């Protein structure tokens, strides 16, 4: 026999080495994918959220986000596969550009017309741009104008476009760089090259961000955990319970101990089929075991679903039918959703305005002078269709009291003021150029015709003189 002293001693690993190993392993796992430990290993007491890529810039102030491509890729995967993320993102993007495009406004008619022409030439799909902004948290708009060709507006890959800062200072932007692969081989590691883009030809829109953040944040990032929890509840609890619902586990109770083995063998040897009747000994009973143990899976799934809608700022009544308890909150659903869309619209307003001013300067439409919001601005149409009868009454009251301009009244109704002015002018030109038009001032049938009005006045005067003579 071997003595206790002959047993091999356990290898002792220093605490510093174990700590370094765990840190290195955590970094490798974090780079591999965006899933969180507490979601992938749901229910473990030692689970932690290991994916935190927010770091401080080396300069005096500012924050940056690492591994943005992985977040964007995960968001795209959810948009492609998840049954909640796609309708949520589509709902937000549609609300931002409710008429399919922004409202180009301003007194500078030349600048406004140039921008509208560029938008039409490029067939810009603002809904898709808004989807990219929600998924990535960033939108990089750039333009290019090859010789003797129309101006091209491009949306750069938000996951592979970086902003270049001087000395890592958030206040000193030098330009942008787009990372691209130099080979087309998808099975091997591709060579990488950077394409530098001038800040005068590119505009960065940051969503869910702060003034000292280098990049925006995805609107999906903070619900990845809850989406994993919801999938877990469905797959391991709800669906598994549904699978066992039609094939319940039966328990026979009350069989005496000395007969249990024989009774079990008899049952296992029998062929079970629908409609077959069992004849059991006295004092025995058959029970269907409740595998859920009255687990409130429906309530838990409902609350997880509510957490997702709260985190994405989407009223629950807009994602499906509401129960009796939440119908009262449906009255406030539309105003609450409009409040969630307003911050996003402001980012789009400032970003698109700066981008189109850069584009106009590059094409010589304007110089280096400052363009005020009165000369050029980006507007948006109402998110929801409104009751025009009520709006018309309010507009009439304000107009009669001289408290509202004609343009503001048109915007309240949801009419593009500049576009409507062009249509009214064109309509008036058609009336003036067609003497037979009933609305033409020169048409004899028009009651406002000057010649006819003079004739009516003369006839009325003669009638009055004749009436006065008869009275005398």
pTM: 0.68
DSSP assignment of 404-433, as one string?
Answer: S-HHHHHHHHT--HHHHHHHHHHHHHHHHT
Residue with tokens 């890592």: 168
Phi/psi at 191 (nearest 5 deg)?
-70, 150
Per-residue pLDDT of the chain (472 residues; tens, 9 = 90+): 445 555 556 666 677 777 776 676 666 655 555 444 444 444 443 334 444 567 788 777 888 887 788 889 989 999 998 889 999 999 999 999 998 999 998 889 899 999 999 999 999 999 999 999 999 999 999 998 766 678 889 999 998 999 999 888 888 899 999 987 665 555 444 556 788 899 999 999 999 998 889 999 999 988 888 888 888 777 666 655 555 555 555 667 777 777 777 777 776 666 555 556 666 667 776 665 555 556 677 788 888 888 888 889 888 888 875 554 455 555 677 888 899 999 999 999 999 999 999 999 998 899 888 899 989 999 998 888 776 777 777 888 888 888 888 777 777 776 766 677 777 777 766 666 666 666 655 656 666 666 666 666 766 666 666 666 555 5
Nearest to 135 by CA among 88, 66, 89: 89
Residues listed for the chain: 472
Is 155 in contact with 140 (CB distance < 8 Å)?
A: yes
């Amino acid at each position: 026999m071997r003595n206790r002293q002959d047993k091999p001693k356990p290898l002792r690993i220093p605490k510093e080495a174990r700590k370094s190993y765990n840190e290195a392993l955590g970094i490798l796992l974090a780079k591999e994918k965006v899933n969180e430990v507490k979601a992938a290993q749901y229910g473990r007491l030692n689970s932690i959220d290991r994916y935190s890529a927010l770091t401080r810039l080396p300069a005096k102030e500012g924050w940056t986000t690492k591994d943005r491509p992985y977040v964007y890729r995960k968001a795209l995967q959810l948009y492609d596969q998840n049954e909640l993320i796609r309708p949520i993102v589509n709902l937000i993007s549609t609300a931002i550009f409710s008429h399919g495009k922004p409202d180009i406004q301003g007194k500078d008619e030349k600048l406004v017309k140039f921008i509208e022409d560029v938008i039409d030439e490029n067939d810009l799909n603002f809904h898709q741009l808004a989807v990219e902004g929600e998924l990535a948290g960033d939108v990089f708009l750039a333009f290019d104008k090859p010789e003797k060709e129309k101006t091209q507006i491009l949306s750069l890959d938000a996951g592979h476009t970086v902003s270049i800062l001087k000395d890592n200072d958030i206040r000193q932007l030098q330009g942008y760089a787009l990372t691209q692969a130099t080979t087309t081989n998808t099975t091997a590691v591709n060579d990488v090259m950077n394409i530098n883009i001038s800040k005068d030809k590119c505009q960065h829109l940051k969503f869910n961000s702060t003034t000292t953040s280098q990049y925006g944040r995805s609107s999906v990032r903070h619900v990845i955990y809850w989406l994993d929890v919801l999938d877990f509840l469905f797959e391991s609890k709800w669906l598994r319970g549904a699978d066992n619902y039609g094939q319940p586990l039966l328990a026979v109770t009350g069989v005496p101990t000395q007969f249990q083995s024989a009774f079990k063998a008899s049952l296992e040897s029998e062929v079970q089929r629908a409609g077959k009747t069992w004849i059991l000994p006295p004092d025995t009973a058959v029970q269907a075991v409740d595998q859920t143990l009255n687990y409130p899976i429906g309530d838990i799934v409902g609350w997880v679903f509510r957490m997702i809608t709260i985190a994405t700022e989407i009223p629950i009544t807009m994602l499906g039918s509401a129960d009796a308890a939440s119908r009262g909150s449906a009255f406030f659903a539309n105003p609450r959703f409009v409040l969630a869309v307003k911050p996003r619209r402001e980012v789009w307003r400032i970003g698109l305005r700066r981008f189109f001013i850069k584009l106009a300067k590059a094409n010589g439409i304007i110089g280096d002078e400052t363009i005020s919001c009165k000369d050029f601005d980006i507007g948006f149409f109402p998110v929801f269709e409104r009751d025009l009868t009520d709006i018309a009454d309010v507009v009439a009251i304000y107009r009669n009291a001289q408290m509202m301009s004609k343009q503001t009244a048109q915007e309240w109704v949801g009419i593009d003021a500049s576009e409507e002015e062009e249509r009214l002018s064109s309509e008036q030109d058609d009336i003036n150029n067609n003497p037979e038009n009933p609305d033409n001032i020169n048409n004899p049938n028009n009651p406002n015709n000057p010649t006819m009005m003079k004739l009516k006045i003369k006839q009325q005067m003669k009638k009055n003189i004749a009436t006065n003579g008869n009275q005398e």
